[in-house]
Amino acid sequence: MITTQQAIDYLRDPICEGLSTKEKLKLHEEAVVMAVEALEKQIPKEPVYKKDDIYVKNQFVELPHCPACNWEVPTGDMHCFMCGQAIDWGENNDTE
């Protein structure tokens, strides 16, 4: 797997002088996959609500989690702190 910086460098300079065709194709494929993953995280997705280990009034509380990485997301945060996924809180978004 290539690093983020390697993908950026490649996408800025796709000539890749000095690399064999096979190396160029592998680098190209990995850079494109990384770019697509980053772009997909910009599309807001609704959080997934899961029962957590917080117990209030004799009930487990359902907390919002990132749909991409499953990390707990504080209500109203526009992006997941862990993976950067954009979060869509719908019409009930108190941050607007």
Lookup: tokens for 42: 């910009």
**Looking only at Cα atoms, what is the longest distance across the chain?**
66
pTM confidence score: 0.67
User: Hey, is 65 helix, strand or coil?
Assistant: strand
Report residue 15: phi and psi, to 5°: -70, -40
Res. 96: pLDDT tops 50: no
Q: How confident is the model at residue 44 (pLDDT cuts 50, 70, 90)?
A: very high
Res. 38: pLDDT tops 60: yes
Res. 6: pLDDT tops 90: no
Q: 31, exposed or middle or buried, with CB in 10 Å at 0-12, 13-18, 19+? A: buried
Residue-averaged pLDDT of the chain: 84
Q: What is the pLDDT of residue 50?
A: 85
Question: Rg (Cα) of the chain, in Å, rounded?
Answer: 19
Please provide the distance, in angstroms rounded to a whole number, between the alpha carbons at the two ends of the chain. 39
Q: What is the pLDDT of residue 95?
A: 44
Res. 43: pLDDT tops 60: yes
Greater confidence (56 vs 15) lies with: 15
